[in-house]
Structures are given as C-alpha cells and as structure tokens.
Chain A
Amino acid sequence: MEVLLQQPWIAVLVPAVTAVLIAVGGGRAVKVTRWFALIGPLAVLTTGLAGLFSAGDTPAVVSVSWLTQGLDAISVGASVDALAAVMLTVVGVVSAMVVLFSIGYMAEDPAQTRYFALLGVFTAAMTGLVVSTSLVGLFASWELVGACSFLLIGFWYRKPSAANAAMKAFLVTRVGDVGFLLGLAVLWGRTGSTDIATVNAVVGSLPAGVATVAALMLFAGAAGKSAQFPLHVWLPDAMEGPTPVSALIHAATMVASGVFLIARMWPVFAASETALQVMLWVGLVTALGAAAAAIAQRDIKRVLAYSTISQLGFMFVALGAGAWQIAMFHLVTHAAFKALLFLGSGSVIHSAGTQDLHEMGGLGRLMPITMATWVLGAGALAGIPPLAGFFSKDGIIHAAWVASPIAGSVLVLVSLMTAFYITRATVLAFSGSFRGEGHPHESPWTMTVPLMVLAAGAAGLGFAGVALTGLLGGHGELDLTVAIISGSVALLGVCVGVILYRRGPAVDAALERRFVGTYAAARSAFGVDALVTRLLVRPARPCAEKVYRAIDRRLIDGAVNGIGKLMAEVGRLATALQTGQLDLAVALMGAGIVFLTALVIGWGGR
C-alpha cells in the first residue's frame, strides 16, 4: 500500500502492462486474458484508497526530467494528494466494474482483445491524468484518454455512424484542447514552468488579465472534454461506442476530467473573477438546455448522454460559484449513479435488443435486479433524499444561490426537469408490458454484480459528503432550506413523470402535439449540432478542395509553371540548337549564377 503512494507511477504502469499482455495474448487467449483487465483498475483503486487513508500527510512526489535544453527543463511527475486520491478511487471502482460488466456484455464480440486492451490503456492514461504533477504530463494524458475515447467510440468501425461519431468526438474535443494548449503556453511564457504546484503558487502574482486569459483557455479545454455548450455536440453521438465504454469514459471519468482539471488548477481560476463568471453561466446554459433535450429523446442512451451533459453543467456552475469541492463531490456521486444507469441501460439493451424506449416496457418483472439498481440510480440522479445525488446537488444549488439567485432558481428548475426525464425513462423501460420483440431475461452475474456495487454507491455516497469535501478543504454540510426545496421539487418531478407516462409512450406524441415547436427543438437539442454541421463540418472538405484547386493548383502552381514555360520559351529563342530541356535550364542557370554573383559582389564590395 505504502509503496503505491511513494511510487504513484506503478498505478499507471499496471493497467498499461496488462493492456500489452492482453494484446500480445491475442484472440484465442482472450477468454482468460480479459480477466487480467481487472488487475489494472484494482491497482488504481488500491492506490486511491491508500491515498484517502493518508490524506493528511504530505504526499510524496516522484519526478523525472522529460527534456532539457539551454536553461529550460520540463519535468513530468506523479503524486497522490487528496484530490488525486478521490479521483483515483472513482476511476478504480468504475473501471473495475466496467471491466467486469464487459466480460458479460462483450462475451460474443470477436474483437474483444482490442476492446479489453484499449480499456487498459484508457485506465492507465486516466490514472496518469490524475496523478500528474506537471501540466505537460497532464496534457499528454488528457490527449491520450481522448485518443482511447476515439478508438472506443469507433470500436465498431464498420458502422459509418460509429466511425463518424469517433471522428467528431476527437475533433470537437481538440478544438477545446487547442485552448488548453494555448493556456499552457501562456502559463509557460509567464511563469517559465509547467509544474502544477509552481504555477499555482505564482499565478496570484501575475497581472489579472494574464490569469483571466490562462483560466479561460484552460476552461476551453475543460469545456471540450466535459461537453459544455457549445462543445457538447460530440457526446450524444459518442453513444455509438459499446455501452460499458459510455459508462466509463463518457459518464464517470474522462468527461469529468474537465472538472478535475479546474479543481487541480484552482488558484488560476480563483485569480480571475471573469473566468468564474463565464464558467457559471456556461454551466447553467448547458445544464438547462441538456435537461430539456433529455426529456425528448427516445433512445435510452441519448437520454443518459444529455443527462450527463446537464449534470456536468451542474458541476461547472459549482466551479463558477467558487465551490470546487462541491463540484468534486458531485463528480463522485455522479460517477456512481451515472455509471450505474449506463450499465443498467447496457443490461437492458443486451436483453431487450433495442435502445428505443418506445420498444421497451415491462422489463421490471423480467429483470428484477437491473430494475432495482436502476431505480436507485434514477432516484439518486433525480435528487430524492437520502440518495447520493440529493446531497451533492443540494450543495451545488446552495452555492449557486449564494453566487447568483438567478442561477440558483434556474438550477431548481433543472432539478425538476431532471427528476421528470429520468422518471419518464424509468417508467417507459420497466413498467407496463413489453412492447418489443424477443424474450428479455435478467443478465448474468458479471453484469448484475457491478450494478449492485454501483447501486450501493448511488444510495450511500451522499453521507460521505462532509468527509469528502472536508478532505479537499471545503464544507459539505446540508443547507436545510435548499434541501427542502430541492427535495420536494425532485419528488414533484417524479410524480409528474409517473402520472404522465404510466399510460405508455403515447404521451410523447401527445406532448409533441401540445408543444409543437418546443418539443421538436428539445429533441434536436436546439439545433446546435445541426448548425455546427451545416456551417463547419459539411463545408470543410469541399472548401479545402476548392482552396487546393483554385489557389494551390491554379494560382501558385500555375504561376510556377508559367515562369517555367516562359523561361523555356526565352531559352528556345535564345539557343535554337539546344534540344534537352534540362541542359537548357542548367546552362541558363549557370549564366545566371555568374551574372548574379558578379552583381552581388560588385554591389556588396562598394
């Protein structure tokens, strides 16, 4: 245990090595080697727990020089402080549960080797992101988890929709990453360091403008990774990946790393009131818009995807309100209940053979464990006391209220919508009678055990709030007024949802008729994606091709060829006896060189 804290890179290395072992083992051995994939997450989890138990001590820092030149040096290092310990525990638990779940879920897939190896690489990179003590190491891991996300979204690469979604995810997050890169450059230029502790220590003494710019640039990176408006457009499409991947990468860990980044670099953000305001309002818009979109989705995974975007918006509101510890608290509870809901949806999809809520129904009787755990997760998301989400959301609404009553009241509204949309999904999937084809059945133990473990977290983690925020140096006590308001709002949302959707999916059509424009707008997530596609994505290649043909070929190369022809023509006139083009050119140039040299030396010699 102790050695894992002294040498935190071990937790990075173990999942990476198991990934290599799985890859080398190949397809035939995968029935055995896929179990190796559990080792990495367990090492990460052990490190995280060890870190939690010794959170009071000064953490050990291991650092090596990555490169040096002149007077500059860039080091990369690893350390497990309280923040890292919290995050590692989340990463360890969720990735272990996802691996276990995948052993059942992916049992029939012929490309399992690639799948489990990539999960290992992802866990390694995510761990690297968390334990990094230098911005360069963090940024490198940040890009690597993005690459793993790309490869896993496109896991079923034959499907055009999956291949497109993978590309979209990479490109949209890269737009944010350019912000991160420039933020890194600003900090490097102004502090001469990429060491996180050093940067955080001196950022307060920089001019306010510099801090603001650096903070906003880093936030751009975080917004891309954590799918905040307007860079959220990749996440719903990312659902093309295998569902356990959605649970791990696109709900619990990678998408939350934007929140983690800001917590990690908190002094940079604390130095800029502007940056905090921007985060607050971007988070608020995201939370509201995505919750509205979630109400109108038919695909169970897209409901959860928009829900994730919305909940990440909650976390950014907390960050903007200055309560980063509360944001981390919500990150933890969200990781538990959203991973649970995604795995639950995986269990449902695996069994019912569809992702369309309208084709489900009645699964509660057929899949009792899946339903029971799902209901706990849904309750936690809705914020029903005393489930986990209730506590962390209460903290966020309270913090938002203090920062801006408008933000606080909007979040209360979003809480109502949240309770409503998850109740809708729950009722449509599990109550009534089965509307699809086939014979759904409960999933095997490898899939139900992870559900139960995560359900325990979704139910109980709320009570860890005070301890957890305390560990990070904040306060997580319940505010009674807010608790009463948000608790009753959640119950209200659930009640409305149950009453409406008890009658089955026909309600969707009724709602659509009742609110013609609004419903369609919500279903298309207010057209942001379509707009981006029309303005940027679709014209990109045709425009590039036009530039290539018109400017590069016709204009520049045309000019070059024109000069060449002209020269050849002049040469032909001058020396009619010459036959080979090359001889001619060489001869001309020889003459030219002599002439020019004479000119230059004569001129320079004056």
Chain B
Amino acid sequence: MGVLLPVVIPLAGALVVAFAGRVGAGGARRLSAVVAGVTFIATLYLAFSWNAGGGENIAWAIGGSQRVMLLRFAVDGLSVPLVVLTGFLGLIAVLTSWEVRDHAAAHHALLLGLEAAVMAVFLADHILLFYIAWEAVLIPMFFLISVWGHENRRAAAFKFFIYTFAGSALMLVGIITLMVSTPMDSLVGGMAVVSADKQTLVFWLLAAGLLVKVPVVPLHTWLPDAHVEAPTAGSVMLAGVLLKMGGYGLLRVALPLAPDAFRAAAPVLAILGGIGIVYGAVLALGQRDLKRLVAYSSVAHMGFMLLAMSTGTALGIGAAVLVMVSHGLVSGLLFFLVGALYDRTHTREIPRFGGLVAQVPVWGGVFVFGALASLGLPGLSGFPGELLAVLEGFRSFGWWIAPVGLGVVLGAAYNLYAVRAVAHGEPSVEWQSIPDLGMRERAIAASFVLFIVGLGVWPGVVLSATESVTRILAMALGGGQ
C-alpha cells in the first residue's frame, strides 16, 4: 500500500485543490503545501520501509493480482532515490509558487497532478502504465508553461509538447512491438529479455523517446525554450525530475529488456554523453540569459549521466543515478534562485547584474554555493557521480573519454562566469533596494544546501539503495559485476 501513496496523495490533492475553488489563492497554496508535504513524508516512509524490508521490492496491484491488471505499482532500489527526490522537489515547487496570484488554485492543482504523474512513472510496474504515466506528465507541464510562463510561453509549450510527444510516439511503437514479442510486462523485478533479432529495433525505438527526454544533443532544443518560459515551479520540476525520466527509462525499460542492444549501443550512448558534456557547457558559456545558462547546464550534466550509464558497470550505473539525483537538487536550487531574482528584478539578463553578493548577501552566497555545486566541487553532490563517470568511463572506453576533460574545464568556466558576472564585481545601482531572500525562501535554500552537502559527503545513501539493481543490470550486460 505504501507504494501507492506517493501517487494517490498528490492526485487526490490535485482534485481537491482544483474543485475547492472557493478557498482562494491563499487556501489553495496552503492546501497544496500540506498535500506536497504529506507526499514527501510518504516517499520517505516508503524509502524507510523499503530499507527496513531488507531492500525487497514492494509491489501493489489491484486485488493483489500480479498478472492481469494494468494498475500495478512497485518500488525497488532504482526508483527509491528518484521517488524521494520527486517528493522533495514537489514540495519545493509548491513553496516556490507562493506568490502566484493568477488562477492560483489551477496552478497548484496542476503542480500536484504533475507530481502524481511523475511518481507514477517512477513507480509503474506494468509497462503500459509506465507509458500512460509518461504521457500524462506532458499535460500538466504543457499548461504550466503555456498559462503561467513568460513572454514566449505558448510557442515554447507547443514545442515542448510536440517534440516530446513525437519522441514518445516512437517509444510507444517500441513498447507495442515489445509486448507483442514477449509475454512479460513487468518492469520491476521481472527480467524478460526481448528475442535477439528484435532487440536492436526495440531498443532504438524506446531510446528515441527516452533520449529526447534526457535530452541528448541534437534533440535538446526544446529544453532551453521550455525552461526559460516556464514559471519557476515548472523549471524546478522540469529540470529536477522530468529529465530524470529519460535516464530512468533507459535503466528501467530499455536496458533490462534489450541488454544486447544496449551493450552494442553503449559506445554511441557514451559519445552522445560526451558531446552533451562539452557542447552543453559551451552553450551555457555562450548565454546572456541567466535562466538559459542554467538550462543548458542540464544538457552537460545529463551528458555525465549518459556517459556513466554507458559504461555498463554496476559502479557506472550507480553513478548515473547519483548524477540524476544530484542534478535534480543542484538545478532545482539554481532555478529557484534565478526565479527569486526574476521576481525582484523582472530580468534575467546577465550583463544587467553584478555584485549581488553585496546587495543581497544571502541570495548571493547561496548562488555561489550553487555554482560551486554545479561545477562539481567535492563535498557537494555533483562530485561523486561525475568523478565515477570519468573513472568508470576510462575503465570501459580508455582514452576515448579524454575530451570529457574539456567539458570539466568548461563546466567550471560557465559557472564561474555566472558568479563573476552576477554575484561578484561592482554592485549595480539598478538593484540597490531589492530585498534579500525572505524566511520562506531561506528555508527552501537551506533545505537544498542540506541535501546537496549530505549527498556530496555521503553518496552511499543513494548507492546503497541502487546496489541491488545495478548489480543485476551490470550482470545482464555481461559485465560480471
């Protein structure tokens, strides 16, 4: 039953918020905060009970039937970290939307609906349920961007929708092919493998949808537009959890069902990852829009995720999950900060800022922290995953991964460029009187800082969860570990 709660609570909450129109903006946001808070607690409860059960998969199905029904949910070591991350960012997203006045109830209902859909993606056991949840995510996100977004919100929302929908259409073809060719439809704990002759086809059909979501270059151009136009909560959810669906899907669906094809595709995935690392960093460096800079940094970070995964070793796959969780936290923090700054200045133009550490010291200090986390400073969450991606990348691909080093330098370059241009330097007279982060915002920032430091110092908290799954996945690939 516990496995159901992270889906049901926000879903029910979304309906209540949507139909309790009379409570007004204040009531809607307070109600949503309670729902999101309870959801977060439910994810923690699920994680703890999963851990207390010795890492046994927890499953739930209508009527207890494992075979027939579509509505089957399950959690294992691969989904636990992402479910908790979603619970945390879901709460953060509600808290960052505190100032939304325009149709607040609808906004919050959509946020909670989005959270429920993402939870369903991470917890789905039936492959069709996975697909339905995957598509369901698009709808609330589409409306969040197109209604509450910035200037070019409609174009960005359409692009986001059509782009990812096109990808998932191919994915659906892959899933149907797969269901035709194998009787197994269980994703968690099941180890059905597609027959050898169809693996390549199924893998690349699935990958088409999954890689758009990651996103990989050159299928990434929906991301910066969607990010820049989305409201802050939308960006937090988009970067924090929606991008993780791609990586999760590769590990949950594509790899176990088509391991031979995955192994054959590994060099391609590694190259795509490497391109993302370097090219994403170059693009981030080339920005004058602060939010766009953070958006492009996602391309680079997800490149590390893909590189780590493509090694096919247990440690590499674990590192991919680490990168995903870390990126969820770090990009969530940075989008929150950029949003808070936009609320005060109504601009995202980097050249108009400067010396903000002097004017808004708390905002500035946390921004420097976020930039250091993003460039992979040890002790913070980005370090372990990206370190392991390079170590395991070398073990699997040798000197081919050397160009990633360029990405490591560029990663420092764009983050420090942002710090230099926005936080350091002579304070601009334009923003002399903007207020620093308030108490609610400080609490948000502090919780991010806490989790980012925690994961950086103790990556074992994620890796001990993924251990059981990564071992099996690596074995499926014939890596022996």
Q: A69-B463, A541-B285 are in contact. Are A178 and B426 (CB under 8 A)?
A: no
Residue B97 at the chain A interface, CB threshold 8 Å: no
**B409 and A171 contacting across the interface, CB-CB below 8 Å:** yes
Cβ contacts under 8 Å, B315 to chain A: 69-70, 72
**B460 and A65 contacting across the interface, CB-CB below 8 Å:** yes
Residue B344 at the chain A interface, CB threshold 8 Å: no
Cβ contacts under 8 Å, B180 to chain A: 601, 604-605
B293 CB, nearest partner CB in chain A, Å = 10
Cβ contacts under 8 Å, A66 to chain B: 384, 459-460
A141-162 vs B, Cβ < 8 Å mask (1 yes, 0 no): 1011001001100100110100
**B158 and A544 contacting across the interface, CB-CB below 8 Å:** no
Cβ contacts under 8 Å, A171 to chain B: 409, 412-413, 416
**B425 and A597 contacting across the interface, CB-CB below 8 Å:** no
Tell me which of B384, B395, B423 contacts A157 (CB under 8 A): B423
Residue A164 at the chain B interface, CB threshold 8 Å: yes
Residue A546 at the chain B interface, CB threshold 8 Å: yes
**A69 and B169 contacting across the interface, CB-CB below 8 Å:** no
**B383 and A140 contacting across the interface, CB-CB below 8 Å:** yes
Q: A188-B394, A547-B286 are in contact. Are A140 and B420 (CB under 8 A)?
A: no
Q: A143-B377, A181-B405, A600-B177 are in contact. Are A592 and B169 (CB under 8 A)?
A: yes
Residue A300 at the chain B interface, CB threshold 8 Å: no
**Interface locus among A378-386, A424-432, A582-590:** A582-590
**Interface locus among A290-298, A487-495, A556-564:** A556-564
Residues 292-329 of A at the B interface (beta carbon under 8 Å): none
**A157 and B221 contacting across the interface, CB-CB below 8 Å:** no
Residue A548 at the chain B interface, CB threshold 8 Å: yes
**Complex CA–CA separation, A164 to B419 (angstroms):** 11
**Complex CA–CA separation, A42 to B162 (angstroms):** 63
**Interface locus among B38-46, B183-191, B251-259, B464-472:** B464-472
Residue A175 at the chain B interface, CB threshold 8 Å: yes
Cβ contacts under 8 Å, B394 to chain A: 182, 185-186, 188-189
**B408 and A158 contacting across the interface, CB-CB below 8 Å:** no
**A182 and B395 contacting across the interface, CB-CB below 8 Å:** no
Q: A143-B377, A147-B377, A167-B416 are in contact. Are A68 and B463 (CB under 8 A)?
A: yes
B393 CB, nearest partner CB in chain A, Å = 7
Closest to A163 in B: B424
A344 CB, nearest partner CB in chain B, Å = 29
B343 CB, nearest partner CB in chain A, Å = 24
Interface of chain A: mostly helix, strand, loop or mixed = helix
Residue A581 at the chain B interface, CB threshold 8 Å: yes
Residue B287 at the chain A interface, CB threshold 8 Å: yes
Residues 13-60 of A at the B interface (beta carbon under 8 Å): none
**B176 and A597 contacting across the interface, CB-CB below 8 Å:** yes
**B409 and A158 contacting across the interface, CB-CB below 8 Å:** no
**B425 and A163 contacting across the interface, CB-CB below 8 Å:** yes
Residues 312-345 of B at the A interface (beta carbon under 8 Å): 313-315, 317-319
Cβ contacts under 8 Å, B459 to chain A: 66-67
**A593 and B378 contacting across the interface, CB-CB below 8 Å:** no
**B173 and A189 contacting across the interface, CB-CB below 8 Å:** no
Tell me which of B205, B221, B282, B287 contacts A560 (CB under 8 A): B221
Residue A596 at the chain B interface, CB threshold 8 Å: yes
**A544 and B285 contacting across the interface, CB-CB below 8 Å:** yes
Residue B159 at the chain A interface, CB threshold 8 Å: yes
Residue B481 at the chain A interface, CB threshold 8 Å: yes
**A596 and B170 contacting across the interface, CB-CB below 8 Å:** yes
B302 CB, nearest partner CB in chain A, Å = 16
A539 CB, nearest partner CB in chain B, Å = 11
**Complex CA–CA separation, A235 to B462 (angstroms):** 39
A172-193 vs B, Cβ < 8 Å mask (1 yes, 0 no): 0011011101101110110000
**A170 and B412 contacting across the interface, CB-CB below 8 Å:** yes
**B285 and A136 contacting across the interface, CB-CB below 8 Å:** no
A96 CB, nearest partner CB in chain B, Å = 24
Closest to A537 in B: B413
**Complex CA–CA separation, A184 to B358 (angstroms):** 39
Residues 218-258 of B at the A interface (beta carbon under 8 Å): 218, 221-222
**B283 and A547 contacting across the interface, CB-CB below 8 Å:** yes
Cβ contacts under 8 Å, B395 to chain A: 185, 188-189
**Complex CA–CA separation, A548 to B372 (angstroms):** 23
**Complex CA–CA separation, A581 to B165 (angstroms):** 14
**Complex CA–CA separation, A182 to B401 (angstroms):** 9
Tell me which of A71, A157, A179, A561 contacts B357 (CB under 8 A): A157
**Complex CA–CA separation, A182 to B169 (angstroms):** 40
Tell me which of B387, B427, B467 contacts A68 (CB under 8 A): B467
Cβ contacts under 8 Å, B413 to chain A: 171, 540
**B408 and A181 contacting across the interface, CB-CB below 8 Å:** yes
Residue B390 at the chain A interface, CB threshold 8 Å: yes
A211 CB, nearest partner CB in chain B, Å = 16
**A597 and B177 contacting across the interface, CB-CB below 8 Å:** yes
Q: A70-B470, A185-B390, A547-B286 are in contact. Are A174 and B409 (CB under 8 A)?
A: yes
**A157 and B355 contacting across the interface, CB-CB below 8 Å:** yes
Q: A158-B427, A174-B409 are in contact. Are A140 and B286 (CB under 8 A)?
A: no
B354 CB, nearest partner CB in chain A, Å = 9
**Complex CA–CA separation, A605 to B198 (angstroms):** 9
Cβ contacts under 8 Å, A557 to chain B: 221
Tell me which of B222, B378, B470 contacts A144 (CB under 8 A): B378
Residue B2 at the chain A interface, CB threshold 8 Å: no
Residue B5 at the chain A interface, CB threshold 8 Å: no
Residue B98 at the chain A interface, CB threshold 8 Å: no
Cβ contacts under 8 Å, B130 to chain A: none
**B378 and A170 contacting across the interface, CB-CB below 8 Å:** no
Residue B362 at the chain A interface, CB threshold 8 Å: no
**B314 and A70 contacting across the interface, CB-CB below 8 Å:** yes
**Complex CA–CA separation, A525 to B377 (angstroms):** 31
**A72 and B173 contacting across the interface, CB-CB below 8 Å:** no
**Complex CA–CA separation, A154 to B426 (angstroms):** 12
B453 CB, nearest partner CB in chain A, Å = 12
A214-256 vs B, Cβ < 8 Å mask (1 yes, 0 no): 0000000000000000000000000000000000000000000
Cβ contacts under 8 Å, B372 to chain A: 147
Cβ contacts under 8 Å, B355 to chain A: 157-158
Q: A70-B315, A544-B283, A548-B283 are in contact. Are A593 and B172 (CB under 8 A)?
A: yes
Residue B417 at the chain A interface, CB threshold 8 Å: yes
**Complex CA–CA separation, A192 to B433 (angstroms):** 56
Residue A569 at the chain B interface, CB threshold 8 Å: no
Cβ contacts under 8 Å, B282 to chain A: 544, 547-548
Residue A512 at the chain B interface, CB threshold 8 Å: no
B455 CB, nearest partner CB in chain A, Å = 11
**Complex CA–CA separation, A581 to B172 (angstroms):** 22
**Complex CA–CA separation, A546 to B283 (angstroms):** 9
B349 CB, nearest partner CB in chain A, Å = 14
B residues lining the A interface (CB < 8 Å): 158-159, 161-163, 165-166, 169-170, 172-173, 176-177, 180-181, 197-198, 201, 205, 217-218, 221-222, 279, 282-283, 285-288, 313-315, 317-319, 355, 357-358, 368, 372, 377-379, 383-384, 387-388, 390-391, 393-395, 398, 401-402, 405-406, 408-409, 412-413, 416-417, 419-420, 423-427, 459-460, 463-464, 466-467, 470-471, 474, 481
What 12 new A-B contacts, CB under 8 Å, besides A68-B460, A166-B420? Answer: A65-B460, A66-B459, A70-B470, A71-B481, A72-B314, A139-B387, A140-B383, A541-B286, A547-B286, A548-B286, A561-B159, A604-B197
Q: List 21 A-B contacts (CB under 8 A).
A: A67-B318, A70-B470, A70-B481, A72-B315, A136-B387, A160-B425, A160-B426, A167-B419, A174-B412, A178-B408, A181-B405, A182-B405, A189-B391, A541-B285, A543-B286, A564-B159, A564-B162, A593-B172, A597-B172, A597-B177, A600-B177
What are the 3 tightest A-B residue pairs by CB atom distance, in nearest-first order?
Answer: A70-B314, A544-B286, A140-B378
